[in-house]
Amino acid sequence: MSALPIHARTLAGLAKGLKQREFSSVEITREFLDRIAASQPALNAFVTVTRDAALAQAAVADERLKAGGAPALTGIPIAHKDIFCTEGVLTTCGSKMLSNFVSPYDATVVARLREAGTVMLGKANMDEFAMGSSNETSFFGPVRNPWNTAMVPGGSSGGSAAAVAARLAPAATATDTGGSIRQPAALCGVTGIKPTYGRVSRYGMIAFASSLDQGGLISISAEDAALLLGAISGFDPRDSTSVDSPVPDYTATLGDSLAGVKIGLVREFFDKGLDAQCEARIREALAVYEKLGAKLVEVSCPNLPLSVPTYYVVAPAECSSNLARFDGVRFGHRCENPKNLIDLYRRSRGEGFGAEVKRRIMTGTYVLSAGYYDAYYLKAQRVRELISRDFANAFGECDLLVGPTSPTPAFPLGAKTADPITMYLNDIYTIGANLAGLPGMSIPCGFADGLPVGLQLVGPHFSEARMLNIAHRFQTETDWHLRVPAAYA
Partner 1 sequence: MSLSRSDIDKIALLARLELTETEIPVYVDSLSRIIDFVGELDRADTRGISPMAHPLPGLAQRLRADEVLETDRHERYQRNAPQVEAGLYLVPKVIE
φ, ψ of residue 405 to 5 degrees: the values are: -85, -40
Query: d(Cα 144, Cα 225) in Å, to the nearest integer?
Result: 23
- Name which of 341 and 489 has its Cβ closer to partner 1: 341
Give min distance, CB of 329 to partner 1, in A.
Answer: 5
Q: Is 452 in the site for partner 1 (CB under 8 A)?
A: no
Per the annotation, the verdict on 416 as an active-site residue is no
Stretch of 157-165, 284-292, 386-394, 397-405 lying at the interface with partner 1 (CB under 8 A)? 386-394
Radius of gyration for the alpha carbons in the chain, expressed in angstroms and rounded: 21
Residue 81 bears catalytic tag = yes
- Report the distance separating Cα 34 and Cα 38, nearest Å: 6
- Binding positions for partner 1, 415-444, rule CB under 8 A: 419-421, 424, 435-437
Q: What is the DSSP string of 408-422?
A: SS--BTTTTSS-HHH
> What distance in Å separates the CA atoms of residue 134 and residue 145, rounded to the nearest whole number?
10
Using DSSP's 3-state secondary structure scheme, residue 157 falls into coil
Give the C-alpha distances (Å, rounded to integers) separating 190 from 64, 155, 220, 408.
30, 13, 5, 16
Binding-site member from 26, 209, 227, 306 for partner 1 (CB under 8 A): 306
- The alpha carbon of residue 110 and the mean position of all alpha carbons in its chain are separated, in whole angstroms, by 15
382 binds partner 1 (CB under 8 A): yes
Instruction: Give CA–CA dist 46/172, Å, rounded.
Output: 11
**Residue closer to partner 1 (CB basis): 16 or 359:** 359
Q: Please list every residue from 453 through 482 that binds partner 1, using CB under 8 A.
A: 461
Which residues 6+ apart lie within 8 Å of 306 measured at CB?
A: 383, 386, 387
Min dist. Cβ of residue 206 to partner 1 (A): 13
Which listed range, 51-59, 414-422, 440-448, 481-489, lies at the site for partner 1 (CB under 8 A)?
A: 414-422
Residue tagged active-site, from 180, 221, 320, 348: 180
| Minimum CB distance to partner 1 smaller for 374 or for 479 | 374
- Indicate the SS3 state at residue 176: strand
Report yes or no: 304 and 268 within 8 Å, Cβ to Cβ: yes
Catalytic residue chosen out of the listed positions 25, 39, 156, 201: 156
What sign for the dihedral angle of Cα 402, 403, 406, 408? positive
Of 237 and 255, which has the nearer Cβ to partner 1?
Answer: 237
How far is 348 from 332, CA to CA, in rounded Å? Answer: 9
Near partner 1 in 144-203, by CB under 8 A? 196-198
Question: Cβ closer to partner 1: 347 or 472?
Answer: 347
Interface residue with partner 1 among 379, 447, 482, 484 (CB under 8 A) is 379
CA-to-CA dists, residue 373 to 113, 222, 367, 380, angstroms: 40, 41, 6, 10
Q: Which window, 21-29, 76-84, 307-315, 471-479, contacts partner 1 (CB under 8 A)?
A: 307-315
Q: Is 487 in the site for partner 1 (CB under 8 A)?
A: no
Residues of this chain, 87-146, that bind partner 1 according to CB under 8 A: 100-102, 104
Residue list 226-265, contact with partner 1 (CB under 8 A):
237, 240-241, 243
> Whole-number minimum distance, CB 102 to partner 1, in Å?
7
> Looking at 99, 277, 388, 408, which residue binds partner 1 (CB under 8 A)?
388
Q: Which of 24, 39, 81, 103 is catalytic?
A: 81
Whether the CA torsion 53, 58, 63, 67 is positive or negative: it is: positive
Our CB check for partner 1 shows the closer of 408 and 417 to be 417
394-424 b/e (C-beta count within 10 Å ≥ 16 → b): bbeebbbbbbbbbbbbbbebeebbeebeebb
Q: In the stretch 36-55, what mask flags binding to partner 1 with x, by CB under 8 A?
A: --------------------
Q: Which of 148, 149, 253, 381 is the binder for partner 1 (CB under 8 A)?
A: 381
Please count the residues of this chain forming the interface with partner 1, following the rule CB under 8 A: 73
Using CB under 8 A as the binding rule, whether residue 272 contacts partner 1 is answered as: no
Strands 295-299 and 214-219: what pairing? unpaired
101 near 90, Cβ under 8 Å? yes
What is the edge-to-edge ordering of all strands in the sheet holding 451-458? 46-49, 119-124, 77-81, 171-176, 214-219, 191-194, 440-448, 451-458, 400-404, 262-266, 295-299
Is residue 321 a contact point for partner 1 (CB under 8 A)? no
Q: Which is nearer to partner 1, 376 or 480 (CB)?
A: 376
Minimum gap (Å) between residue 309 Cβ and partner 1: 4
Give CA–CA dist 442/455, Å, rounded: 5
Contact call for residue 219 and partner 1 (CB under 8 A): no
Q: How far is the CB of 116 from partner 1 (least distance, A)?
A: 24
Residues in region 329-368 near partner 1 by CB under 8 A: 329-332, 334, 338-347, 349-351, 353, 355, 358-359, 361-363, 365-367
Q: CA triplet 375, 378, 384: central angle to 5 degrees? A: 120
Shortest distance in whole angstroms from residue 247 CB to partner 1: 16
Binding partner 1 by CB under 8 A: which of 303, 406, 426, 469?
Answer: 303
- Active site amino acids: 81, 156, 180
